[in-house]
């Protein structure tokens, strides 16, 4: 069980690093936003860096586009304002680092799906479960 958790964490960290290294900018057309909370189990993760990405718009070789960033507050909550791109691709968030109650931990890497640019989920919870669901959905 512990080994499989390590593999999932390693996969998410690799995914986040790949997304960050390939992110590009986008041309704004209208303002939108994603709000949510980052948790480890039921504990908020304070000070996590949260990035919002849009999947590549055509084919599988397109790099994700970074469309916004935020830092979680003392309750693990965040809001990321971004500009709609008009595309029908998926939006997802990747949260890294932060303090889950035992001091800052740079090894934290979690993710979650946030909808599409035209239809975002009203509020998302980013935790271990959302990370597994996102990895499965985007595989």
Q: Number of structural domains, the chain?
A: 1
Pairwise CA distance, residues 48 & 109, whole Å: 9
Identify the domain containing residue 74 by its residue range. Answer: 2-138
pLDDT at 8: 46
Pairwise CA distance, residues 83 & 119, whole Å: 13
Pairwise CA distance, residues 20 & 1, whole Å: 29
Q: Is 111:15 a contact under the CB 8 Å cutoff?
A: yes
pTM > 0.95: no
Average pLDDT, the chain: 79
CATH of the domain at 114: 2.60.40.1120
More confident residue, 26 or 100: 100
pLDDT at 107: 96
Pairwise CA distance, residues 106 & 119, whole Å: 31
Paired strand residues for 126: 38
Summarize pLDDT for 42-98 with one digit per residue, the tens. 999 999 999 999 887 666 667 888 889 999 999 999 999 987 665 667 889 999 999
The mean-pLDDT minimum among 13-27, 91-105, 120-134 falls in 13-27
């Amino acid at each position: 069980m512990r080994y499989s958790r390590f593999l999932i964490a390693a996969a998410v960290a690799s995914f986040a690093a790949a997304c960050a290294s390939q992110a590009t900018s986008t041309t704004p057309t209208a303002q939108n936003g994603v709000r949510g909370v980052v948790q480890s189990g039921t504990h908020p993760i304070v000070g996590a860096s949260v990035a919002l990405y849009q999947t590549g718009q055509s084919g599988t070789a397109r790099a994700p586009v970074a469309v916004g960033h935020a830092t979680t507050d003392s309750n693990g909550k965040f809001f990321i304002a971004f500009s709609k791109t008009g595309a029908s691709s998926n939006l997802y968030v990747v949260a890294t680092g932060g303090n889950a109650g035992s001091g800052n931990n740079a090894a934290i890497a979690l993710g979650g799906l946030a909808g599409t640019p035209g239809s975002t989920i009203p509020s998302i919870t980013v935790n271990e479960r959302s990370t597994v669901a996102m990895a499965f959905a985007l595989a």
